[in-house]
Amino acid sequence: MGASRQQSKLQEAKAELVSLLKVLSDKVDLERKLGVNYLQFDSVIKNTISYEENVISQLPTPEPVFDNVYNYNEVDKVEFSKSEKIAELNKLEEQVKRCTKCDLCKNRTNVVFGVGDPDADLMFVGEAPGYYEDEQGEPFVGKAGQLLTKIIESIGMKRGDVYIANILKCRPPENRNPNANEIVMCSPHLIRQIEIIRPKIICALGTFAAQTLLNSTESIGNLRGKFFEYQGAKFLATYHPAYLLRNPDDKKKVWADIKKVRDFLKENSS
């Protein structure tokens, strides 16, 4: 191999290494923001996880890594009025529509940002858009979405009273599971939505939403039905409506979980 070919191979290898390190560093930074405790890495989930109890929260905040999407620190922890929430969400949506941080942008028909009351007390978080959501640009509009609407109505609320979003804003091909890179690249959008909306309670739907937000590898069967804390909100996971369509016997467990959400909201109404 000639010297210049060798040089260019070396440059390629260096570029690849730099890009791998960037993905790794983004992942670590994001996990820190999500509250991963690297000092006591422990997959045993306690019944209540509090940010304050987390050793990592005592460490200095890492520099934001998603500057070109938005800057975390710029507006961190600001409490918005309803009209400010609408403006902030619109601004974020415009940014997400331009997002090309992972390959899912290549095949999307629409970015599926989120829908509902920007001032909602209750926020649902699902996994990723499917075929109909990608077509219409709205989360949970297919069969699973119709079931979610019934679940919401079962506690005396309407779809428009809550906010609904997903971990991923673009549809994975053939509805495959989200991969780690997609989750790392896309979660900051959701984290920002939560920061703006500041719901009283977040209900995670299914394995991916629960595991991603709790940074856990526990099964949804173990995570569901218990209260956690997330970014100052209460957090409760339950089964995904798509799973319920295949396993209707578990509807009673979801009913038990959603009643806890209803009761929490009743006890904490202002």
Copy the structure tokens of residue 130. 């499917």
The SS3 assignment for 111 reads coil
Pick from 29, 88, 117, 127: which binds ligand URA (CB under 6 A)? 127
Minimum distance of ligand URA from residue 246's CB (angstroms): 13
Among 49, 102, 128, 147, binds ligand URA (CB under 6 A): 128
Choose the stretch contacting ligand URA; rule: CB under 6 A; options: 37-45, 135-143, 217-225, 231-239.
135-143
Q: Name which of 132 and 227 has its Cβ closer to ligand URA.
A: 132
Within 8 A by CB and 6+ apart from 200, the residues are 121, 122, 233, 234, 264, 265, 268
Strands 227-230 and 233-238: antiparallel
Find the binding residues for ligand URA in span 230-259 (CB under 6 A): 242
State the minimum distance, in angstroms, from the CB of residue 237 to ligand URA.
13
Beta bridge partner(s), residue 166: 126
In the stretch 156-195, what mask flags binding to ligand URA with x, by CB under 6 A?
----------x-----------------------------
CB of 64: closest distance to ligand URA in angstroms?
A: 27
Quick one: 32 or 114, whose CB is closer to ligand URA?
Answer: 114
Q: Which two tokens stand for residue 151?
A: 């679940």
Look up tokens 């089964």; give the residue: 239
For 153-199, give the DSSP string: HHTT--GGGSEEEES-SSPPGGGPPPPHHHHHHHHHHHHHHHHHH--
Supply the minimum distance, in Å, between the C-beta of residue 139 and ligand URA.
Answer: 4
Q: Minimum CB separation from ligand URA for residue 170, in Å?
A: 11
Size of the site for ligand URA (CB under 6 A): 13
Binding-site member from 116, 130, 178, 199 for ligand URA (CB under 6 A): 130
Measured CA to CA, the distance from residue 127 to residue 242 in angstroms comes to 11
CB of 63 closer than 8 Å to CB of 26? no
User: 54 or 136: whose CB is closer to ligand URA?
Assistant: 136
Closer CB to ligand URA, 144 or 196, in the complex: 144
Q: Rounded CA gap, 236 and 204, in Å?
A: 6
Residues 220 and 210: beta-carbon distance below 8 Å: yes
Residue nearest to ligand URA (CB): 126
Q: How far apart are CA 76 and CA 72, in angstroms?
A: 6
Pairing of strands 163-166, 115-116: antiparallel
Considering the complex, what minimum distance in angstroms separates the CB of residue 163 from ligand URA? 13
Q: Which residues bind ligand URA (CB under 6 A)?
A: 126-130, 133, 139-140, 142, 144-145, 166, 242
